[in-house]
Amino acid sequence: MLRVASLGINYGQVGSNLPPPDKVLDLLSSLMITKVKIYDTNPQILTTFANSGVELIVTVENQMLSVVMDPQQALQWVSTHVKPYFPATKITEIAVGNEVFTDDDTSLIGYLVPAMVSIHGALVQLGLDKYILVSTPNSLAVLEESFPPSAGSFKGEVSAIMSEYLRFLASTGSPFWINAYPYFAYKGAPENVSLDYVLFNKNPGMVDPYTKLHYDNMLYAQVDAVVYAMFRLGYSGIEVRVSETGWPSKGDPDEVGATPANAAVYNRNLLRRQMRNEGTPLRPNTRLEVYLFALFNEDMKPGPTSERNYGLFEPDGTIAYNVGLSALSTTSSTSTSTSTSSSSFSFFLTSSADKVKP
C-alpha cells in the first residue's frame, strides 16, 4: 500500500457519540494516516496515541492565551500537558490558539505573540524545542486581498501584530498555518466561481496577470496569496501549510454545493494531488502539507448544518458518504463495522494513487 506522506487529518471532538480514542487510533491505522491535529490536549488521546507512530499537533485553547503569556504559567502548561507524554506520544507541534486574528474576542490578538514566545521558551527550558514547533492556525479572513494571488495582503488592522508573529515564525523555523476552504468562496458566489475550479476538476483555471503563473484550483491560489501577503511584510522564507480544508456533505437550503457528491470529489481530488506530493505554482518544489477537516461528523458543533457535516466518517465508523470509487460499492452503507468501512477507505486512498500517474 502507498502512503500519503504529507496528508494529515483534524480529529475534532465536539460530538456526543464519538468513538473512544483507541477505536479512533484503529481507524487511523487502517487508513494509514499518521498525522493528526486535535483542538486541545485531551489526556486520554495523548495516552492512547503513545507508541503509535502518529504525529500529533496539540492546541492551547483560546481562553488559555492570557494565562500562558506568563512564562511561569507557560512552563507549567507544557510540563503538565506535553512533557509527561513526550516522546512516547509523538507531539510535533503546539498550536497556540485557533483563528485568533479573526476571533470575535479582539483582546486575544494582543495575547497571541507573547503566549507563543512563552510556550516556546518553556520548550527551550525543558529541552523540547528541537522536537516541537510552535505556531497557530489562521483563518483566510486575515487577508485583505487574495485574488489574484500576487495581490495577497493582510488586513491593515492585523498587520502590526502579524509582523511580530511572522518574526517569531522566522526565528523559530515554524510554518504559517492557514484554514482554507474554497467551499466558502463557492457558497458565497456560486454564479461567479467555477465549481470545477474549487473541486480540483479539469478546468481552464486562471493565470495571475502579474506573475503569469497558472492556477487550476482555488486552494493553491489561496495558499500562494498568503505567501505574497508575507512578502509584503518582508518575509519570504516561511513555509505555508494548510491546517484545515474540506467540504461539507450536507448543508442548509441556502448552503449551495454542500452535497455528498461534491464532498467526495473535493476530498478524492485533493488526496490524488497529495499522492503526487504537489507544491503550489509559486513553490512547486515544496510539497504542500495539508490537514483535512475532518475525521468525524460532529453533532454538537454550532452554526449552520454544514458545520456538523465535514466528516469523512460517521461517529459509528461508517463512511459518511460514498467517495465514488467502485471499490466502495461493495460496502454496505449500513454496516457498523469500523474495520469494514475503514479498510474500504484505505483502498480508496491507494486506488486513487494507482489511477493517477505522478
Provide the annotated active-site residues: 99, 244
Cell of 334: 449500513
Cell of 340: 469494514
Of 253, 326, 296, nearest in space to 14 by CA:
296
| Cα atoms in the Cβ-side hemisphere of radius 13 Å centred on 296 | 28
Cβ atoms of 267 and 209 within 8 Å: the answer is no
Cell of 29: 491505522
Q: Whole-angstrom Cα distance, residue 62 to residue 106?
A: 11
Q: Whole-angstrom Cα distance, residue 357 to residue 200?
A: 16
Assign 56 to helix, strand or coil.
strand
Q: DSSP of 206-261, one letter per residue?
A: EE-TTT--EESSHHHHHHHHHHHHHHHTT--SPPEEEEEE---S---TTSTT--HH
Please give the span between the terminal C-alpha atoms of the chain, in angstroms, as a whole number: 16
Cβ atoms of 296 and 15 within 8 Å: the answer is yes
Enumerate residues 6+ apart whose C-beta is below 8 A from 41.
Answer: 58, 59, 81, 82
- Look up cell 456526543; give the residue: 16
Cβ atoms of 178 and 241 within 8 Å: the answer is yes
How far apart, in Å, are the Cα atoms of 83 and each of 43, 55, 123, 134?
12, 15, 9, 15
